[in-house]
Amino acid sequence: MAVIPDKDAKCRRIEALIAEGRGVCESCREVGVSEKTYYRWRKADAST
C-alpha cells in the first residue's frame, strides 16, 4: 500500500476543525480529503 504524505497531519487538522464545532463533511472538504477516506484512516489507526 502506498504511503500517504501528511496523513496524520490531515487527520489532526480535521479533528481540530470538528472540535471547533464544524461538521465532519465540512472539515474534510476544507482539508481536501473525502469523508470516506477520513473514516477509513481513523479505522486503520484505531486497529494498530
The model's pTM is: 0.85
The residue written with cell numbers 481536501 in the block is: 32
What is the per-residue pLDDT across 12-45, written as a single tens digit (0 to 9) for each? 999 999 999 999 999 999 999 999 999 999 998 8
Which one is predicted more confidently, 2 or 14?
Answer: 14
pLDDT of residue 44: 85
pLDDT band for position 46 (cuts 50, 70, 90): confident
- Residue 16 carries which side chain, given as an amino acid letter? A
Neighbouring residues of 7: CB distance < 8 A, sequence distance ≥ 6: 41
What is the pLDDT, as a whole number, of residue 1?
62
Domain boundaries, the chain: 7-47
Nearest-5° Cα angle at 31, 7 to 22 = 120
